[in-house]
Amino acid sequence: MQLLKERTEEILRDSQSGSGTILEKCIKMLSANLEANPSPDVNAIIKNLRRIYWKHARMAVLFHFCNGLFLEIEEEKLLEDEKNAGEKLLAFLNTYTAQWQHTETGIARELMEEVVLKNKSILLHSNSSSIVKALSALAGKGILPQIYQTVSWPAEEGKVQAAELAKLGFSINVIADTAVQNHISDIDLALFGCDALFPAHFVNKTGTTLYAALLKSWNKKVYILSDSRKLIKTNLLPDSVARLLLEEKPRDPGEIWKNPPEGVSPLNEYFESVPNDYASAFILESGIYKPGKLDPLFKGFRVSELFKFEED
């Protein structure tokens, strides 16, 4: 139980990782807990996952995973059968991991088939495991485009991504979030991640809309890397769940300004909604799609009753 609490707190403090990394940390946390506790406290698992999801609610892969795990708990009646819960939940984690472990590799493959990146200069923003995986595949083929990486204020997770890419051999210019205009003539295209993908807009780090609009005005391509778990149609969801995915919750104002003077209210927001037509194309593991061609990809699914909650 203590391990579960400690790992949960670590994930809650993480303001620099992308959604894929947050999900990976959750799966490792649960695996360690279940291996140590074959008859786990299932209520404690639910409560800690709810806390993590509440903090990172706009990350659709986290919703996809938590919903799947909660459905497993419901269908197998694991709240009443904790004796066998450890084995069944570990089996779910193994199956889920096996099903999705090659997703980012598939995105990288589609990117390399569609987009010429050799001798190009690429703008990156924030920190995305899909971006890192795609560029790692490029580096493996000896293709090392010049990178312009924003700091990605206020959490500065762009520095984390820049450090990872530098280890792969990329030459990286780290620039202030507000300095992209100064380098736009040298930038050929942008690669951005995506935390959730809806029929009319996608969710990503604040600043993405301005960068996409700027590149579009210069007739430069903006590619969005996503995976199919991030496809969400909110009219198929309960209102409480849809609201969590759509609404941006205020973050710690101290990240922007500690102890501001009276009358000053720092507003710290991590994510924003970007119109899909600001993107040149969306690159998923299943293929490459223009903004107006996404509709057939959206599927309905059942939402667990355990997801119908307010903050614990």
What pLDDT is stored for residue 141 in this prediction?
Answer: 95
Contacts of 207 (CB under 8 A, 6+ apart): 125, 150, 152, 177, 272
pTM given for the model = 0.95
Q: How far apart are CA 114 and CA 112, in angstroms?
A: 6
Q: Is 283 helix (H, G, I), strand (E, B) or coil?
A: strand
What pLDDT is stored for residue 310 in this prediction?
Answer: 60
What pLDDT is stored for residue 237 in this prediction?
Answer: 82
What pLDDT is stored for residue 257 in this prediction?
Answer: 96
Q: How does pLDDT run across 100-154, given as a tens digit for each residue? A: 999 999 999 999 999 999 999 999 999 999 999 999 999 999 999 999 999 999 9
- Count of CA atoms in the C-beta half-sphere (13 A) of 188: 11
Our CA dihedral for 184, 284, 54, 129, rounded to 10 degrees, sits at -60
**How many other β-carbons are positioned within 10 Å of the β-carbon of residue 172?**
16
Cα radius of gyration rounded to whole Å, the chain: 20
What pLDDT is stored for residue 86 in this prediction?
Answer: 94
Q: Are 99 and 120 in contact (CB under 8 A)?
A: no
Q: Are 243 and 249 in contact (CB under 8 A)?
A: no
Query: Among the residues of 121-265, which ranges form H helices?
Result: 129-140, 157-167, 180-183, 208-217, 239-246
Q: How far apart are CA 122 and CA 162, in angstroms?
A: 12
What pLDDT is stored for residue 1 in this prediction?
Answer: 65
Q: How far apart are CA 271 and CA 59, in angstroms?
A: 10
- Joined tokens for residue 256: 């922007």
Q: How far apart are CA 18 and CA 59, in angstroms?
A: 9
Peptide bond into 250 cis (omega under 30): no
Could you give the strand order of the β-sheet that contains 281-284, starting from the edge strand earlier in sequence?
172-175, 146-150, 121-124, 189-192, 221-225, 281-284, 287-289
How far is CA 77 from each of CA 26, 70, 80, 127, 261, rounded to the nearest angstrom?
Answer: 22, 10, 6, 38, 53
- Joined tokens for residue 188: 């050929």
Amino acid at 217: S
Query: Residue 221 — φ and ψ, nearest 5°?
Result: -80, 145
How far is CA 275 from each of CA 30, 107, 248, 257, 280, rounded to the nearest angstrom?
Answer: 35, 21, 16, 30, 11
What pLDDT is stored for residue 312 in this prediction?
Answer: 52
Which residue positions in the chain have pLDDT lower than 70?
A: 1, 308-312
What pLDDT is stored for residue 234 in this prediction?
Answer: 86
Contacts of 257 (CB under 8 A, 6+ apart): 264, 266
Q: How far apart are CA 235 and CA 270, in angstroms?
A: 24
Write the CATH number of the domain with boundaries 103-297.
Answer: 3.40.50.10470
- Joined tokens for residue 287: 């293929």
